[in-house]
Amino acid sequence: MARHRTLRTFLAGIACLALTACTIPGGPPAGPAIPTAPAPAVPTEKSATAAAYYAQVQKALLAQGLLRTDSGANIPFTDRMLADSFLRIALFDEYRRSSSGFVREETESRLRRWEVSVRVGLRFGASVPPDRQTTDRARVASYLARLSQVTGHPIAIDETAPNFLIHIVSEDEREALGPKVRAAIPSLGPNDVAGITNMPRSTYCLVYALSEGNSGAYTRAFAVIRAEHPDLLRLSCMHEEIAQALGLPNDSPRARPSIFNDDEEFALLTDKDELMLRMLYSRELRPGMTLSEARPIVYSLARRLMGGDS
């Protein structure tokens, strides 16, 4: 199982785009806002098939002891391990852009984060029942409050002027999202939009995050989560897509305990992930920093967060 993927590139010479997607390599594993939505649409055969598939995915992962929901407190790590994980996840991208789309090739990048408040707008397809919408909205609001407390940055639901849209939609609704994607981020190219509308079954969810030039300062984001996901996969997508869109875009097989890892061990944000988010939004770091500029500061931050050298 692969976790989320991140891509970063320049659009029209002025915009920097990062894409994060939660994917499954190969085949399946063994074994505006709508505060009061209309009656949900009857699931199509395509959506029903997807729901059955992702229920199988979740069941298989849980049977393997994966998708843990604890904080990872029983897995020790040192300040150096924390710093190394941060540098790999925050200062590298997993994909590069080519003429035919994104290609998997890890490349050094710059530090990115939000400098303006993160205002999240939730958009539900008609396929999502009102009670499910209520649950999703409450979970996202609670998670955003946690992230805001961890980072010290304003992050909350704001339906009046959102700059981070999260669409929770069915297969058919996702395939029709093209106009809304282009309206939210006009600088996206056809291949970028197709990354959403033609999203393969092996991709759980994804998010685009946009910054201007080399500034590293995010200004907009657009996420898509499949409405067919069972409860834990759905929540896992919320946790990782939102956290990665805050500025931790890469994955690392050595990041443990962490959701920024391809192994699906953890479904939800861990204690180590919280420390990396605290580091990311430290005043000692700034958007646009290169790896060489950030490295000594990151090691110093990690030592202080962990209470000394190790």
| Number of domain units in the chain | 1
pLDDT-based confidence at 43, cuts 50/70/90? Answer: confident
DSSP letters spanning 125-190: -TTS-HHHHHHHHHHHHHHHHHHHHHH-S-EEE-SSS-SEEEEEE-HHHHHT-HHHHHHH-TT--H
What φ, ψ does residue 226 adopt, rounded to 5°?
A: -70, 130
Distance of CA 220 to the CA centre of its chain: 13
State yes or no: pLDDT of 182 exceeds 70: yes
Strand partners, 47: none
Q: What pLDDT is attached to residue 33?
A: 46
Written as one letter, the residue type at 214 is: N
State yes or no: pLDDT of 127 exceeds 50: yes
Q: Which residues contact 93 (CB under 8 A, 6 or more apart)?
A: 6, 7, 8, 18, 106, 107, 109, 249, 250
Residue 165's domain comprises 4-306
Rounded Cα distance, 163 and 82, in Å: 30
Do the beta carbons of residue 70 and residue 159 sit within 8 Å? Answer: no
For 47-63, what is the mean pLDDT? 97
Place of tokens 């659009």: 11
Q: What pLDDT is attached to residue 91?
A: 96
For 74-92, what is the mean pLDDT? 97
SS3 assignment, position 38 = coil
As a whole number, the mean pLDDT across the chain is: 87
Do the beta carbons of residue 237 and residue 205 sit within 8 Å? Answer: yes
Q: What pLDDT is attached to residue 106?
A: 78
What φ, ψ does residue 120 adopt, rounded to 5°?
A: -95, 130
